[in-house]
Structure 1
Amino acid sequence: MTGPALSIRDMLVTFNGFRALDEVSLDIATGESFGIVGESGSGKSTLLRAVAGLNRFDSGSLTVNGRSYGGRKRDQEFYRTVQMVFQDPYGSLHPRQTVDRLLLEPLAIHGFTDTEARIARALDEVGLGSGFRFRFSHQLSGGQRQRIAIARALIVEPKVLLLDEPTSALDASIQAEILNLLEQARKDRGLTFAMVSHDLAVISHMCERLAVMRKGKVVEALDVGQLRSREFSMDYTRELLRASEGFRREA
């Protein structure tokens, strides 16, 4: 039996003495899609950013596929293994670079030589043809930009994708397309997902298990069956579900 793809132990992140992450521990199995939910400020995005090395963690441990990593330092192998897709497709792509350039950059960094074939495959995988190669990001819709962001993450063949609200900035009709695209990529490539969302319907659709965060701590861990049958131990989780359903009805 293989160990977890991602193992977090007692991870502490502080900002000016404030505990943004308060000794969080999680294991995410290889090939699993794992959800992280909570209200704004609960620490869920801070957790992903600490794993990715965008925020340092003060203490605790991070292990990815059996390799340990420190508070902030990451090596090239880490970035081959772990990629992140951000919430905002407008902010995560350089406005003065063509799609071709955006996809070529990670290939160059990681020493890939068959760039033409990889760019063509990446665009095809996210449902965009070669006609998009030489467009700039401002010439793309929000959904198209997020597809390019996903293609850029997948092009170096990672094993783990960190997904920080990957559809929340998109229209509802586009959200489903992006989620289906991600799910297909996970099946085709055997990926492991850690997905942050405020929308429990998205987590229920995409994930097998989830952690509920509040004030920097994991307060409850559930599988999706328990979420659907409302087998919660915390009133906070029940309130989150109610808020998520209410938001969706209004939308």
Structure 2
Amino acid sequence: MLDVRDLEVTFTSGADEVRAVRGVSLTVQKGESYGIVGESGSGKSTVLRAICGLAPTSAGHILLDGKELATPRRPDFYRRVQMVFQDPYASLHPRHTVDAVLSEPLAIHRFDRRDERIAEALSAVGLGQGFRFRYPHQLSGGQRQRVAVARALILEPQILLLDEPTSALDASIQAEVLNLLDRLRAERGLTYVMVSHDLAVISHMCERLMVMEHGLAVEELTRDDLRQRRAGTPYTQRLLKASAGYTREAT
């Protein structure tokens, strides 16, 4: 469904040049949940931003259902592909109510039955009508992220790009949001591309994953590979070791 071939993303500032993504390729099947992992600065979030047209692509191809995406992205692209960002407070306008946040994409894409669609979106993410006219500062972190998910879902997309959607949340709230995302994918047949530095999250959510280091794709693993700790590169082995946490040796 989504095909990225030899993607390059280069940022320039004067004479300085940073190759944030270098020749990355991946393929995601319809209905699959695909993970991208790596340490901070590895380029994993930049891949998502390039897919949705928020990062400059200097080389390579991005195809949706076999058709190359235009730059800038056409409006119909955003009907099919939506992104959920890392920080739910930063991604919501602080002076807009939940109703305004959810109404805006419906107005842009000229959807009908707006009141009904807003009610359905809030219900889908476990929020009642009582949240509709609240402001972001009146919501908890988990509730804000649920609103961000509702905003992404309200256009009835087929693909969600999830950029560390739970890393800004407390551990107990993380589990609630991950379970919500898991349920929505099963109910709606959604396709996910999820970025995370947390291997436990990726293991729970994704069937396959790509490991990135310094803008390069160094390895692709299955969920079973990850759980059995089968890693073919030293970098992935170090990530697995780091994810196991610290132990104190007896002295």
TM over 0.5: yes
Structure 2 contact 9–21 (Cα < 8 Å) conserved: yes
- Over 6 Å off, 4+ runs: none
* CA distance in 1 between partners of 2:95 and 2:74 (Å): 27
2:6 to 6, 10, 17: 10
* CA distance in 1 between partners of 2:37 and 2:236 (Å): 9
Q: Which residue of 1 aligns with 2:194?
A: 195
Tell me the TM-score normalized by structure 1. 0.95
Structure 2 contact 61–68 (Cα < 8 Å) conserved: yes
Q: Which moved more, 1:8-17 or 1:209-218?
A: 8-17
* CA distance in 2 between partners of 1:239 and 1:13 (Å): 26
Structure 2 gaps, min length 5: none
Structure 1 contact 210–221 (Cα < 8 Å) conserved: yes
* CA distance in 2 between partners of 1:67 and 1:92 (Å): 29
Aligned ranges 1:216-227 → 2 under 5 Å: 216-227=215-226
Give the aligned CA root-mean-square deviation in angstroms.
Answer: 1.2
Structure 2 contact 11–56 (Cα < 8 Å) conserved: no
Which amino acid is the alignment partner of residue 8 of structure 2? L
Aligned length: 243
Aligned ranges 1:1-251 → 2 under 5 Å: 5-16=1-12, 17-70=17-70, 72-246=71-245
Residues 108-166 of structure 1 deviation map (CA, whole Å, 9 limit, x = unaligned): 11111111111011000100000000001111111000000000000000000000000
Deviation (angstroms), 1:83? 0.2
Structure 1 contact 103–151 (Cα < 8 Å) conserved: yes
Which amino acid is the alignment partner of residue 55 of structure 1? A
Which amino acid is the alignment partner of residue 18 of structure 1? V
Deviation (angstroms), 1:65? 2.2
* CA distance in 2 between partners of 1:156 and 1:138 (Å): 25
* CA distance in 1 between partners of 2:111 and 2:74 (Å): 17
Query: Secondary structure of the equivalent of 1:246?
Result: coil
Which amino acid is the alignment partner of residue 184 of structure 1? R
Query: Secondary structure of the equivalent of 1:58?
Result: strand
Residues 23-82 of structure 1 deviation map (CA, whole Å, 9 limit, x = unaligned): 111001110000000011110001011111111101110011232114x41011100010
Tell me the TM-score normalized by structure 2. 0.95
Query: Secondary structure of the equivalent of 1:188?
Result: helix
Which amino acid is the alignment partner of residue 188 of structure 1? E
Structure 1 contact 198–244 (Cα < 8 Å) conserved: no
Residues 188-214 of structure 1 deviation map (CA, whole Å, 9 limit, x = unaligned): 111100000000000000000000000
Percent identity at matched positions?
A: 63
Query: Secondary structure of the equivalent of 1:9?
Result: strand
